[in-house]
Amino acid sequence: MKRKIAFLFPILFLFFLPLAFSQTDFGYQEEPEGQDVFVDYAYFSEGNSWRLEVYYKIFNNKMTFVKDQGKFKASHEIELVLFNKGKQYTASSHEEEFAVDNYQETRSAAAFLINRVDLFAPAGEYKLSFTLNDHNSNRVSKFEQMVTLPAIKIGEPLFSGLELARSVEEDKDSSKFVKRGKKVVPSVSDLFGDPEGFFWIYFELYGILPALRAEDYRLGYELEGSNKAIILRDTSSAALLPAFDQTLYGFKKIDLSSVPDQACTIRLKLFDRGGNLIAKAQKDLKVEWSPLYQVNTNWVRAVDLLRYVASDKELKELRETKGKEERIKKWRGFWKSKDPTPDTPENELMEEYYKRIKYANEHFGIYDKEGYKTDMGLVFVKFGPPDEIDRHPFELDVRAYQVWYYYRLNRKFLFVDVNGYGEYEVQYPYDGRR
């Protein structure tokens, strides 16, 4: 079967255009199956107490939409409760409505709504209870997590919680995500390794100003891998951090382009002039398969991954590119030329393409053949997840087969395990046509 097929740009642009107040996340199938909502938090000083910022993210395909005046609307309510020693300390609730323009967007597992709700509490050990009630289906999702808010002592340096984000942009509006004149949208999920190959940290540092001299302190950043080895390390003077209302704060970009798949811990450390550790903060995260990591470490494979989106001429030019920096430049330039919304930070087509490549590799690989090179992988990368799959793994006198239905495209594909080894081959009449 012919493996090289022109990529369907108009269809992808139509189906995966990002929604207002939503984003596209890397890998819509890598999150734990069955989880409806993702929750994270960070905490920041409010005098002698803490502001606990609770972030939640829910994907479109986990919401129930109803059609209303030409749009599709979802509605939910969030209830947060903070328990201390088994008793309710504080609580908050929040209602949200969310609308999309077409039915396809309601089924998207790549687009999501992200929001923030605040609670206020002093130092202590708490249990955070999060409940989401979908108004249209009455489905309830619950989440619980232990939260430690550290003691604040006058004159002793102390970090805030670490907020991990995928983007930091200049923005001085009234958005709840704006911090110090920049829009910091939390990732919520602890999974990183998107096509850009980095993440951001926002943090605050208390107890340095005005009593102490920031230039007497060093700030260290560490990314520790699953084997306890330090993958990345950087230091700078605390005096380089900007200050606001006697608080130091910082935005730090962490490069993941050379970090392989693994569980990691990001740490911030504060050292005095004598090199003594006097304050620290940390957060766990996961680094998954990154296209930019492939560009840095396996250029031949990185180019081959573009087989369904690049022309023969583009593939030839990319293969002939020499030098690491020039290859990265060429790779970025290639995807910039395909960006359906070049005026925004996201490249929706690139993100969706690599999501499909990753899913194909995880689900359709066979023996020594990667999933994206199989017939099922090809169809999945080109057309996305089918609306319905009719599986026939065990039938007398008939080879195992599957039928994939794409109702929105008025197409279907028949795959047969021709050799009985688990590799399903697409059958006639599919000939590579759009």
Q: Give pLDDT tens digits for 227-274.
A: 889 999 999 988 889 988 889 999 999 988 788 888 999 999 999 989
CATH 1.10.1740.10 correct for 19-287: no
pLDDT tens profile 209-238: 766 677 889 999 999 998 889 999 999 988
Residues of the chain with CATH 2.60.40.10: 19-287
Q: CA-to-CA distance for 314 and 257, rounded, in angstroms?
A: 23
Using DSSP bridges, classify how beta strands 218-224 and 230-237 pair: parallel, antiparallel or unpaired.
antiparallel
84 within 8 A of 125, measured Cβ to Cβ: yes
Closest by CA to 43, choosing from 110, 111, 115, 124, is 124
Q: What is the pLDDT of residue 218?
A: 93
Q: What is the pLDDT of residue 196?
A: 67
Q: What is the pLDDT of residue 343?
A: 77
Name the residue with tokens 């003691």: 151
297: tokens are 């470490």
pTM of this structure:
0.71
Which parts of the chain have pLDDT scores under 70?
Answer: 1-34, 109-110, 172-174, 194-196, 210-212, 345, 428-434
Q: What is the 3-state composition of the chain as percent helix, strand, coil, each rounded to the nearest 5?
A: 20, 45, 35
Q: CA-to-CA distance for 100 and 21, rounded, in angstroms?
A: 11
Q: How many CB atoms lie within 10 A of CB 220?
A: 15
191: tokens are 């999974």
106: tokens are 């309601």
